[in-house]
Structure 1
């Protein structure tokens, strides 16, 4: 499995379509060199400001998706 270091430089957009949330971002993507004892996973790095913006964008998109649900399913009960 290939692993990557992904550095988000700028968040540009967020939208949802067919059950998926798509984020537009400027990012630097580099292949990650695995070292002994390091987990076999890609890493995402972003500034605190970008992390806060990401949380706000996700909350906004999820709220829009919740509006599309029938009223009986919005209460949180399954």
Structure 2
């Protein structure tokens, strides 16, 4: 498995379409050499201000998706 170091440069927008949330971002992606620290995984790094913005955008998009669900499925007891 290839691993990458992904750094968010800029968050541009978020939208949802047919059950998917799409984020427009500027990224830098660098291939990481394999390490022997256990399971290989990629890293996503971003400044705190981008992380807070991402959280707000995701909450907004999920709220929009929840409005589209029938009332009986919104309670979380499905």
Compute the TM-score of the two structures, normalised by the length of structure 2. Answer: 0.91
Q: Which residue of 1 aligns with 2:15?
A: 15
Q: Which residue of 2 aligns with 1:59?
A: 59
Deviation readout 1:48-78 (Å, 9 max, x if unpaired): 0000000000000000000001122222221
Displaced runs of 4 or more, over 4 A: none
CA RMSD of aligned residues (A): 1.2
Q: What is the aligned residue count?
A: 78
Compute the TM-score of the two structures, normalised by the length of structure 1. Answer: 0.91
| Structure 1: gaps of 5 or more residues | none
Q: Which residue of 1 aligns with 2:46?
A: 46
